[in-house]
Structure 1
Amino acid sequence: MKGLHMFKYTLPGEQPISLILQEKDQGKLFLGNLDCLHNQQILEINNINCILSICTEEKIMVGPKYKQIYLDIHDNMNSQISNVFERSFIFIENSLKFQQNILVHCAAGISRSATLVLAYLMKSFQYTLEQALRYLKQKRPYVRPNPGFLLQLLDYEIMLHGYITSNLGPELTPFDIQRDPQYKPQLRVELRKSLPLKQIPGSSPLTKVERKTHTEILTRVSLSISTFQPKAFKS
């Protein structure tokens, strides 16, 4: 890798890398874009040891100095990113547990990598999607999982909690996610002011129910997303 690189994937006002999570006696969790792999100084300054790459634009294998896994998933609504939730969770969790700093990145650091970090926060800290998204946007304001990924994360919320409480308003996502008119969400869960400690191992206080399909809970993504313009990278 070259030490210097003209940023291609970082738009004005954005950062190639953001610190998301830093807990005592554990490694740090970073979220970023492909410029982090083009510019080795970014990896060195942040003492990155492990890299979770989830992109198809460029496949950059950083070499034996880093522990890296590569997930070949496109950033489109039909990609089944939930198929790699568990694998990415294990990789992130093990990295942090052994005090290794880990970078999760895709091309822009706004959709695929953000989705995996959201799934990690939801499982590790028992966050709802709304709680996780509010927390993540505090750390990296321009994260924006695509509508298909949001639906899979809502399904993940059902799997983890047994029901959906998240209310995804325009301040959290530009996409209008439509629910079934007969679906009545539970009372909103207030976002904790600070990231809580991980739950003590043991039975969860949340009731587990049989996983439901999207057609039972969600109807479709609003036609308003057709006006969304994908992020344009600088050439």
Structure 2
Amino acid sequence: MKGFHMLKYTLPGEQPISLVLSEKERGKLFLGNLDCLHNQEILEINNVNCILSICTEEKIMMGPKYKQIYLDIHDNMNSQISNVFERSFLFIEKALKSQQNVLVHCAAGISRSATLVLAYLMKSYQYTVEQALRFLKQKRPYVRPNPGFLLQLLDYETMLYGCITSNLGPDLTPFDIQREPQYKPQPKVDLRKSLPLKQVPGPSPVARVDRKTHTEILTRVSQSISTFQPKAFKS
């Protein structure tokens, strides 16, 4: 996206805003960074009406022209971002159903805002974490939720579908979420409705497993990465 000046939060080779969803008779969903608010031209070109801000670096309220909610959450492994999954889902879904375009952003459009978009895709389109992440990386290749957020998304997958089937390997995340040998995603019956994105395969259809087992697994995985210190990056 050329022509925009003062892109403070956009690294070389990246974009300040990425189109995630565009469906007939619904609004468009965008994922981006703080440059979208610093350069209002970006919002105007993409006809953004609604803004979901999840950011602590700068609090920018865009005024009455936009419908905006602000979530004060830090990008670290201990932040409970899952506490706002439902609120963000309702905000996004209401806007899209009203044919309004929505921007979800954090500082760099990489971790916090990506996590909320992933949670939205999981609930709205019945994706697993793996499916949602594969799809989102097609739209914005540099998304990279931190390990704590990924664990919360895996727990969300358990809550939605009763078990974890996602395999989060190095092609999807630089963080070794599966270093715990006892963490083994389980196959299950694929009860999801037809996915709108044919290039994102679903898991093999076999039996479901008990949620308690996976809650225990998540606890062990969380403990195993408790000393994991990811390299510094913007979210």
Q: 1:231 is aligned with what amino acid?
A: F
Amino acid at match of 2:159: M
1:18 aligns with 2:18: yes
Among all aligned residue pairs of Structure 1 and Structure 2, give the percentage whose two residues are the same amino acid: 74
Equivalent residue number for residue 56 of structure 2: 56
Q: 1:189 & 1:110 partners in 2: Cα distance?
A: 32
- Shift of the 208–56 alpha-carbon distance from structure 1 to 2, 3 Å rule, reads farther
State the match for 1:159 in structure 2.
159
CA positional deviation for 1:15: 0.1
2:26/2:99 contact within 8 Å kept:
yes
Structure 2 unmatched runs, 5+: 199-206
Displacement of 1:217 in angstroms is: 3.4
| Correspondence for 2:233 among 221, 224, 231 | 231
Q: Which runs of 5+ in 1 are unaligned?
A: 197-205
**Alpha-carbon separation, structure 1, partners of 2:208 and 2:22:** 29
Alpha-carbon distance in 2 for matches of 1:157, 1:48: 30
Q: Does 1:72 align with 2:72?
A: yes
The aligned counterpart of 1:118 is 118
1:149 equivalent to 2:135? Answer no
In 1: Cα distance, 2:189 partner to 2:172 partner: 15
Rate the CA distance shift 1:211–1:19 in 2: closer, same or farther, 3 A: farther
Letter in 1 for 2:129: L
Aligned to 1:36: 36
| Equivalent residue number for residue 106 of structure 1 | 106
> For this pair of structures, how many residues does the alignment match?
220
Provide the residue aligned with 1:86 in structure 2: 86
Distance 1:91 1:232, change over 3 A: closer
Alignment check: 8 A CA contact 1:61 1:68 kept: yes
> 1:232/1:119 Cα in 2 relative to 1: closer, same or farther (>3 Å)?
closer
TM-score, structure 2 normalization: 0.85
SS at match of 2:26: coil
Partner Cα distance (1:217, 1:223) in 2 = 12
How many Å separate the matches in 2 of 1:11 and 1:170? 22
Distance 1:214 1:5, change over 3 A: farther
Deviations 1:177-233 (A, max 9, x none): 13654454223899x88427xxxxxxxxx979767775443423548942x322269
Alignment of 1:177-192 (within 5 A): 177-178=177-178, 181-187=181-187
Q: How far apart, CA to CA, are the structure 2 residues paired with 1:20 and 1:9?
A: 19
**Distance of 1:181 and 1:133 partners within structure 2:** 22
TM-score of the superposition, structure 1-length normalised? Answer: 0.85
Partner of 2:201: none
**Closer/same/farther in 2, CA of residues 145 and 133 from structure 1, 3 Å limit:** same
| Code of the aligned partner of 1:121 | L
- Counterpart contact for 1:178–1:222, Cα < 8 Å: no
Q: Which residue of 2 aligns with 1:203?
A: none
Structure 1 residue identity aligned to 2:155:
D
**Pairwise CA RMSD of aligned residues?**
2.8
Residues 163 and 209, structure 2, Cα contact 8 Å, conserved in 1: no
Q: Match for residue 170 of structure 1?
A: 170
The one-letter code matched in structure 2 to 1:217 is: L
Distance 1:105 1:232, change over 3 A: closer
C-alpha deviation, 1:8, in angstroms: 0.6
Q: Is the 8 A contact 1:129 1:153 kept in 2?
A: yes
Q: Which amino acid in structure 2 is aligned with residue 46 of structure 1?
A: N
